[in-house]
Amino acid sequence: MINPLKGMKDLTFEESQRFVHIVTTAIAIAKRYGYSYIETPILEQTALFRRSVGESSDIVGKEMYQFVDKGSNDVCMRPEGTAGVVRAFVSAKLDRQQSAKYKFYYYGPMFRYERPQKGRLREFHQFGCESFGEGSVCEDFTTIEMIGDIFRELGIGYTLQINSLGCQECMPPYRENLVSFLDTHREDLCEDCNRRIESNPIRVLDCKNEKCKSILIESPKLIKNLCENCSSDFAKLKELLDSAGIGYEVDTNLVRGLDYYNKTAFEFVSSEIGAQSAIAGGGRYDKLVEYLDGKPTPAVGFAIGIERIMELVQMPEVIREGYYMGAMDEESVDMLFPLASSKRATDKVTVEYSAKKLKAHLKGADKVNAKYCAIIGEDEVRDGLIWIKDLDLGEEKRVPIGDF
């Protein structure tokens, strides 16, 4: 027997129903906020993620499914969704329409070679949204509000954590202060942190090592060193959240795992899924379009880890729908097909191809959650009728086949 690769799994039965419910719910809400669908390739040039996600990130340094294809191209399976959407935005020259604003949603598989654990697989799925052309912090607030709507619709509780990562004006002096602090703790920091001090010291704040985290409690806080513009935006974000009654915590060490974020960063976390508590995250990335050779374009976005929330979702009550159609004898089976074809113009229809007794047909209708069980037998053929039972109300009747 051939099994799935480690860290990859099939979505079947109840899990597939949950997946579809999550995606359709998220899509419906994204559309209310003005987003339209975008599809980007699973396979991209490796350079795309090196330039966007960042050489210092764990994703690029350790986790990408990267290889050279038969055309000698350095490619990889996409490890996240934002970079591909930005690449598509620039490829379509949408960045040249400076007065226009674009909003896209996407969903699909992502790939990272890491240790599989609960809610974190090597092939996983994300739903995400990216908004281009709007530089106001009001868009950051609206993005957070939309995620809250999605989780509320899915019945998922959460805690919102926010931070500001500053901009090109306030980041350089802060970086110097942070490096000075980290230099005094090099012997106690892990190997990855020491490497990041040289390449991208801000990434040290994202370390998951418990010893490093305890040291970083005393590290300088960017939020206390923001420039006037960034400080004003962060204050406005908190004001909007307060006015909307959206609770939040300010996490001064929240930097997200990708190098392209600036200003607003946020995560939605849950205590119900173990150590890996983030169920959604995102923020503003005003320089990423430029990094990928586009014209300056403000942008903000997020992604939800679908596998992360599968077990947290409250599924809606199953509602019976459509028809189950069956025959009592072999000679009557063929009569079902034109009737089923006609009904499928407006209803879901399941046809049982084998002749069975009424009790067996009723069990079959129950298994597929049909609202109506429609049966043809010898008596119905003789009288030109079809027997129908409403499985919600328990009412049954026989009607002319022509009126079915």
**What is the rounded average pLDDT for all residues in the chain?**
92
pLDDT, residue 119, reads 65
pLDDT, residue 3, reads 94
Read off the pLDDT of each residue in 309-336 and give the average, rounded to a whole number: 94
pLDDT, residue 100, reads 85
254 and 127 in one domain? yes
Read off the pLDDT of each residue in 237-258 and give the average, rounded to a whole number: 90
Domain count, the chain: 3
pLDDT classification of 289: cutoffs 50, 70, 90: very high
pLDDT, residue 335, reads 95
pLDDT, residue 323, reads 98
Please check the confidence at residue 59 and state whether its pLDDT lies above 80: no
> Which domain covers residue 22, as residue numbers?
13-169+245-312
90 and 104 in one domain? yes
Between 349 and 118, whose confidence is greater? Answer: 349
3-state secondary structure labels for all residues of 54-92 = CCCCHHHHHHCCEEECCCCCEEEECCCCHHHHHHHHHHC
With contact defined as beta carbons under 8 Å apart, do 67 and 75 qualify? yes
68 and 44 in one domain? yes
153 and 141 in one domain? yes
pLDDT classification of 14: cutoffs 50, 70, 90: confident
E-state strands within 27-157: 36-37, 43-45, 66-68, 74-77, 102-111, 123-132
User: Is 6 inside a domain boundary?
Assistant: no
pLDDT, residue 260, reads 77
159 and 115 in one domain? yes
Between 28 and 57, whose confidence is greater? Answer: 28
361 and 212 in one domain? no
Residue with tokens 């000075």: 180
Please check the confidence at residue 117 and state whether its pLDDT lies above 80: no
User: Is 237 inside a domain boundary?
Assistant: no
**What does the block give as tokens for 12?**
């079947």
pLDDT, residue 208, reads 79
175 and 164 in one domain? no
91 and 175 in one domain? no
Read off the pLDDT of each residue in 291-301 and give the average, rounded to a whole number: 95
pLDDT classification of 276: cutoffs 50, 70, 90: low
pLDDT, residue 258, reads 64
| Percentage with pLDDT > 90 across the chain | 71
User: Is 275 inside a domain boundary?
Assistant: yes
pLDDT classification of 53: cutoffs 50, 70, 90: confident
pLDDT, residue 274, reads 65
E-state strands within 223-376: 249-250, 262-269, 278-284, 299-305, 323-327, 349-351, 372-376
pLDDT classification of 259: cutoffs 50, 70, 90: low
276 and 217 in one domain? no
Neighbours of 387 (CB within 10 A): 19
pLDDT, residue 365, reads 97
164 and 139 in one domain? yes
209 and 161 in one domain? no
Between 184 and 146, whose confidence is greater? Answer: 146
Read off the pLDDT of each residue in 159-179 and give the average, rounded to a whole number: 89
Q: Kindly list the distances between the CA atom of residue 91 and the CA atoms of 134, 164, 290, 293, 303, in Å, as whole numbers in the listed order.
A: 19, 30, 12, 9, 22
